[in-house]
Amino acid sequence: MKLNRVFTSTLTFNSTTPYHQTTWEVIQSYVQLTKPRIILLLLITMVASMGMAAKGHVDPWLVLITLVSGACAAGAANTINCLYDRDIDFAMERTRHRPLPSGRIEPHDALLFAIALIVISFTLLAVFANLLSASLAMIGILVYVLVYTHWLKRHHSQNIVIGGVAGAIPPLVGWAAVTGDLSWAAWCLFVIVFLWTPPHFWALAMMIQDDYAKVNVPMLPVVAGNETTARQIFAYTLILIPVTLLLGYPLDVMNLLYPLIALVLGGIFVHKAWLLMQSPSNLELARSLFKYSIVYMILLSIGIVIDCLPITYSALNRISGIINLLN
Ligand code: HEM
Ligand SMILES: CC(C)=CCC/C(C)=C/CC/C(C)=C/COP(=O)(O)OP(=O)(O)O
């Protein structure tokens, strides 16, 4: 497969249908092209990382700049992914109404849009944060577009394991924007998102494997079946729990609240993965695990932010003072 398929293609879908849209509909189509709900979760992990890096004393202006830049970088990556995959997106039920396969946006307009987003993202981060965070955002785009979308997605059943590196980069961007470097804690958050990605995605892939089989995308459930996939999902959720706890000990960047939250959330994740492993053909369990994976990442990130806030620190100190007095 050639990279120039982004510009020219012999696709059999309906991208040239004349289509009259109001300005509002055009704006909506461009927003849809960036896969906004996924960006939202990527940004939540980024904010958690910024809160942790700044120990709760984060500059709101820097947060705003980093959020806008992160949204632009992820939006550009998703737009190029939509451009590259518009042939299979047209063939799959879930994705055929996206702006490119349905002809609401022309491919060259999407490409210009992505380039503009990349320029905005790099410039904002380089000028208002630092070069490290700007470069990491660009690496995120490259990994997602070249490694995942071009190289692995259509060729390897472990596509999302390596491709998951891209989704795990936003916490590094957030940390680097605050501190100008990367510490063990930043890498720990990176590994958390990396390990979370296979359960998140394979649960969904189990539900829509017929679609993937139809377009010859070798997602694990298509290639190895539900039983193997459910076993691998379980293994990832199991490894995830101790890795989340590393932020408390030995990295010592979290207070007491976070380990409790991480344990409870992780316990539910493992339980759901266990149930799926017992009945791998039960797609309701897969759906429930996919939905929970999103809730898990949102709540874990919120837990990190709350744990980092100075008010939480002083409240915990007071509580331990009272406990000491009672003893
Ligand atoms: C290589 C890694 C990943 C793959 C292959 C993947 C794949 C997918 C797919 C195919 C969907 C369904 C989208 C739809 O319904 O159109 C989805 C949904 C979602 N993903 Fe991921 N994902 C990955 C990593 C991530 C990461 C790192 C995040 C954020 C931290 C994330 C957040 C979400 C969210 C929030 C949704 C729900 C979106 C919605 O309801 O439309 N994903 N993911
Ligand atoms: C720092 C930075 C900018 C990082 C980029 C991170 C990024 C955009 C991750 C996206 C991960 C994701 C949703 C993959 C789905 O692709 P897919 O092609 O399998 O999904 P689809 O079938 O819904 O199109």
Ligand closest in space to the Cα of 85: 2
| Residue 255 included in any domain | yes
Q: Which atom of ligand 2 is nearest to the CA of 98?
A: 24
Q: Which residue has the tokens 């995605």?
A: 201
The total of structural domains in the chain comes to 1
Q: Is residue 246 part of a domain?
A: yes
Q: Which residue's CA lies nearest to atom 25 of ligand 1?
A: 167
307 in Cβ contact with 247 (< 8 Å): no
CA of 321 to the centre of ligand 2 (A): 46
Residue 257 to residue 181: CA distance in whole angstroms: 26
- 188 located within any domain: yes
Q: Are 226 and 284 in contact (CB under 8 A)?
A: no
Residue located nearest, by CA, to atom 23 of ligand 2: 95
- Pick the closest to residue 202 from 225, 170, 181, 185 (CA basis): 225
- Letter string b/e over residues 10-46, b meaning 16 or more CB atoms within 10 A of that residue's CB: ebebebeeeeeeeeeeeeebbebbbbeeebebbbbbb
Nearest protein CA to atom 8 of ligand 1, as residue? 201
SS3 category, 242: helix
Residue 197 Cβ < 6 Å to ligand 1: yes
Sign of CA dihedral 272, 276, 278, 279: positive
Residue 58 DSSP code? -
Q: How far apart are CA 255 and CA 267, in angstroms?
A: 19
Question: Is residue 144 within 6 Å of ligand 2 at its C-beta?
Answer: yes
Tell me the ligand closest to 44's alpha carbon.
1
pLDDT tens series, the chain, 327 aa: 444 454 444 334 554 455 678 999 999 999 999 999 999 999 999 999 999 999 878 899 999 999 999 999 999 999 999 999 999 999 999 999 999 999 999 999 999 999 999 999 999 999 999 999 999 999 999 999 999 999 999 999 999 999 999 999 999 999 999 999 999 999 999 999 999 999 999 999 999 999 999 999 999 999 999 999 999 999 999 999 999 999 999 999 998 899 999 999 999 999 999 999 999 999 999 999 999 999 999 999 999 999 998 888 778 778 878 888 887
- With a 6 A CB cut-off, is 174 part of the ligand 2 pocket? no
- State the Rg of the chain over Cα: 21
CA–CA separation, 274 and 280 (whole Å): 10
Asked if residue 235 is part of any domain, the answer here is: yes
Identify whether the C-beta of residue 245 lies closer than 8 Å to the C-beta of residue 303: no
Classify residue 10: in a domain, yes or no.
Answer: no
Residue 294 has phi, psi (to 5 degrees) of -70, -45
In a domain, 12, yes or no: no
Residue 169, domain member (yes or no): yes
State whether the beta carbon of 42 lies less than 6 angstroms from ligand 1: yes
Q: What is the pLDDT of residue 7?
A: 44
The domain of 308 spans 33-316
pLDDT at 19: 60
Q: Give ∠ CA 268-269-274 in degrees, rounded to 5.
A: 95
Residue 225 CB: number of other CB atoms within 10 A?
A: 14
pLDDT at 247: 97
C-alpha 290 to ligand 1 mean position (Å): 9
Question: What pLDDT is stored for residue 313 in this prediction?
Answer: 74
In terms of DSSP H, where are the helices of the chain? 23-33, 36-53, 60-84, 86-91, 107-124, 131-142, 159-167, 169-179, 184-207, 209-214, 220-245, 257-278, 283-308, 310-326
- Ligand 1 in reach of 77 Cβ (< 6 A): no
37 lines ligand 1 (CB under 6 A): yes
> Ligand 2, residues 42, 118, 133, 147: which to mutate, most atoms within 8 A of Cβ?
42
Is there a domain that residue 140 lies in?
Answer: yes
Residue 111 belongs to domain with CATH number: 1.10.600
pLDDT score at 120: 98
